A and B are shown apart, each in its own frame.
Chain A
Amino acid sequence: MQRIGVFVCHCGTNIAATVDVKAVAEELKNEPGVVFTADYQYMCSEAGQNLIQDTIRNERLTGVVVCSCSPRMHEATFRKAAAKAGLNSYMVEVANIREQCSWIHKDKVSGTEKAIILARAAIAKVQLNAPLTPGQTPVTKRALVIGGGIAGIQCALDIADAGYEVDIVEKKSTIGGKMTQIDKTFPTLDCASCILTPKMVEVAQNEKIHIYSYSEVEAVTGFVGNFDVKIRKKARYVDETKCTGCGECTTKCPMKKIPNEFNMGFDNRSAIYIPFAQAVPKVATIDPDHCNMLKNGKCGVCAKICTANAIDYKQQDQIIEEKYGAIVAATGYNHIDVSKYDEFAYNQSKDVVTSLEFERLMNAAGPTGGHLKRPSDGRDPKTIVFVQCVGSREAPPCAKGGKEYCSKICCMYTAKHAILVKDHYPDTNVYVFYIDVRTPGKLFDEFYRRAVEQYGVHYIKGMVGKVAPQGDGTLMVQASDLIANDQLHIKADMVVLAAAIEPDKSARHLATMLTASMDTNDFFTEAHAKLRPVESPTAGVFLAGVAQGPKDIPETVVQAGAAASKVIGLLSKDQLTGNPCVANPDELMCNGCSSCEKVCPYGAITYADKEFRQPDRTVAIRRVAQVNPAVCQGCGACTVACPSGAMDLKGFTNKQIMAEVDAICR
């Protein structure tokens, strides 16, 4: 029989308000095996932990039950505390009487009753707990960063700075991400390229960093410290090692009428292209959908003029297999497709643009050389209307692909756009229609007020109902002014839509490969919203940038640095302590049928021939299952598949779960 101590936490009033903690502690005294019960204000505090440790020593406890918050929150804390007092940490169980009891029930009688039942289940489980010792696995000292935007760049630089090898996988032909397309950054109006491109060069020059550009992650297996990743390096039909990036081929290529993605389709590029002058790596890429040589076998101009002999029309996709200890998901975002919002006439008029398109029109390196001109006729716009929250903060069902969340960056970049327009063309009328202006951040509100007070931008609370293209090429904007309670008709030359941002489409597939969880909007979920914001619940997977939720550049850089520090912490270990809750076959019961092997997603089960002494003293050789504890992740699929009941899961044994069921149904 175990000697069990039960500790009931008040959690201030979080638990004590709806659960009579003293009654719970008193009632549990009568449970078999319980030799000590106590209640305390905060069990997780130092004093609370000391109470547990002292009681373990004084009462010679062999098992501990803590009735407190979710085990996802403080199980590790209490296990550590027990270990300090000399008790095996897996002799501790947590009864979740906060998240799953006190917080969801208002009635104190039923709350108390439920808390007692949950505690009984935990006690019944501890009765059957056995001390477990985790195994050790070595750590591969190399990190993978998926996504080469500012998040991935910062993260890779920080990891490399600590002396570890890092690989960046970027699906585009250059790193840099969305920030390369941006003109200025709020609220300082720094030039985005001036602060980003040095970092891109730093990445290229860093010996510890390897860039797989124009590549995608194909498959991920393994676990924390030991991921096996397959990377598909797509054929760019140019030998990266030979190409000097001179750009001669791009000027001679006869296929020149391809919409340039980098400039949001405002100008054209050739079939062989370098996205922009500061691209890293600065290597040409052939677009196989438009190259005449690849499509029809006729042309070959680029190969003829390339003095470096870098063109290779026969290049194939390459699969690279590499081992990593940690993975950072920094897959970034895209703007939603605004063409479904018919009321804004995005498809009907060239002068209705998204904010990222506007960004290119304002950019000195953009298609207009930084001179703001109407895309339709090249005239200077005299009146510009900015529409906020296009697809953001929408009420469900969001049929047009909108989002319920706030995209966070739009208020600030619109203020930036408005200031830049007024700065360059002071006689332009600028209107901004908003639901709310949200400017939390250092110097953010000052920046917004500058737009209103210093530059005279007209901020109007209200939504735009319709944008109607007129015969004279202007756009009639119908909107409501909620404060003046008035309907407005504004004749505008351009309309700029602040489209909602959404996670990159590739993120969902990646999350499945990484077994990392996502929320309903396809943002990666963090392990704990407040306390573990850059870790995925899947060990060894970390998050940076908008892949985790909408954020601006400074926040992205902060998060990338935080993710990097977590990666460095992981890679600095030589050995990782594994999860001891792994499958455990009973060799005497096992008949070697292979049922378990078939359901194991990790290939952790093998078979070995073993000698068994029979009752008649002869020796028989039988084939029995063997579990590799370093590979087993402890899902328990095999335990149910085993027809003879030989397979069990340590820490969640059949008997333990049965005992919990019994305790609950008593």
Chain B
Amino acid sequence: MSVNTEFKPLIVAFCCNWCSYAGADLAGTNRLQYPADVKIIRVPCSCRVNPMFVLRAFQRGADGVILCGCHPGDCHYTSGNYFTRRRMALLFSMLDYMGIEKERTRVEWVSAAEGAKFAKTMNEFVETVTKLGENRRLEDLRCKKQS
């Protein structure tokens, strides 16, 4: 039984290999601080992120999910981020309808040179999700941590 500490959100970030993951690396290289609550999953392109992954994250207790890709027009695979933009617009509005606030989901464009933007985005996102508190909407209680 742990002592009651302040709420720490669990954030899953999907980053495309070419821009945003490199941007996250640059944030690290420049020692820009952002909360440890953000856990990054590397995907080749933001369009690799299946809506299922986002749903799964919420089901397993994530409090926020963020997708990062290359800026429009700069996709390493030419058009992948456009697919992401459309798919996620649809998914996020559905999630909002289901009670997962729009603020818990986000798509951001971060280039390989924008380490500062990456850190800033993550700081903002963690702050927003922390204010919203724990997400229980989609959570599968069978996988709830024993505490």
Q: B-contacting residues of A (Cβ < 8 Å)?
A: 70-73, 96, 98-101, 103-107, 110-111, 113-114, 117-118, 121, 511-512, 515, 517-520, 525, 537-538, 581, 599, 601, 633-637, 639-641, 649, 652, 654, 657-658, 660-662, 664-666
- B136 interfacial contact with A, CB 8 Å: no
Asked whether B113 lies within 8 Å of A520 as measured between CB atoms, the reply is yes
Q: B22 at the A/B interface (Cβ < 8 Å)? A: yes
Q: Can you pick out 15 interface pairs between chain A and chain B where the beta carbons lie within 8 Å of each other?
A: A70-B28, A99-B25, A104-B32, A104-B34, A111-B36, A512-B73, A517-B76, A537-B112, A634-B44, A635-B47, A637-B77, A640-B49, A640-B51, A640-B83, A661-B12
* B48 adjacent to A661 (CB under 8 Å): no
CB contacts (< 8 Å) of B111 on chain A: these are 517-520
Closest A residue, CB atoms, query B54: A661
CB within 8 Å for A117 and B39 given contacts A104-B33, A512-B74, A640-B48 = yes
Do the beta carbons of B40 and A100 come within 8 Å of each other? yes
> Known interface pairs A117-B39, A118-B39, A635-B47. Does A665 touch B29 (Cβ–Cβ under 8 Å)?
no
Pick from B55-63, B96-104, B124-132 the stretch touching chain A: B55-63
Write the chain B residue with the least CB distance to A113. Answer: B36
Chain B hits for A104, CB < 8 A? 27-28, 31-34, 36, 119
Closest chain B residue to A517, Cβ basis: B112
CB-defined contacts of B39 to chain A, threshold 8 Å: 114, 117-118, 121, 664
Q: Whose C-beta in chain B lies nearest to the C-beta of A581?
A: B44
Count of chain A to chain B residue pairs whose CB atoms are closer than 8 Å in the complex: 164
Nearest CB to that of B42 among chain A residues?
Answer: A71
Q: List 6 other contacts, CB 8 Å, given A601-B79, A635-B77.
A: A96-B42, A104-B33, A114-B36, A520-B114, A635-B48, A635-B76
A640 pairs with B47, CB closer than 8 A: yes
Q: Once the chains are docked, how many angstroms separate the CA of A106 from the CA of B33? A: 8
Chain A residue at minimal CB-CB distance from B139? A665
CB proximity to A under 8 Å, residues B76-96: 76-80, 83, 87
B80 touches A601 (CB 8 A): yes
Docked pose: A518 CA to B75 CA in angstroms:
11
Q: Least Cβ distance of B91 to chain A in Å?
A: 11
In the assembled complex, the CB of A9 is this many whole angstroms from the nearest CB of chain B, namely: 15
Q: Closest residue of chain B to A105, judged by CB?
A: B36
| Cα distance, A104 to B30, chains bound together (Å) | 9
Interface residue? B19 (CB, 8 A): yes
**In-complex Cβ contact of A515 among B41, B42, B77 (8 A):** B77
| Nearest CB in chain A: distance from B33 CB, A | 6
Q: Are B51 and A515 in contact (CB under 8 A)?
A: no
Are B42 and A662 closer than 8 Å at their CB atoms? Answer: no
Cβ–Cβ contact A665 & B53, under 8 A: no
Q: Which of chain A's residues have a CB closer than 8 A to the CB of B61? A: 665
Is B12 a contact partner of A636 (Cβ separation < 8 A)? no
Question: In the assembled complex, which residues on chain B have CB atoms less than 8 Å from the CB atom of A640?
Answer: 47-51, 83, 87
Give the residue of A517, A601, A639, A654 whose beta carbon is less than 8 angstroms from that of B70.
A517
B109 on interface, CB distance cutoff 8 Å: no
Cα distance A68–B107 when bound, in Å?
Answer: 28
A103 to B24, CA, bound (A): 11
* Residues of chain B within 8 A of A661, CB atoms compared: 12, 41, 53, 56-57, 60, 62
A658 touches B53 (CB 8 A): yes
**A665 pairs with B57, CB closer than 8 A:** yes
Contacts of B112 in A (CB 8 A): 517, 519, 525, 537
Set of chain B residues within 8 Å of A100, measured between Cβ atoms: 24-25, 28, 40
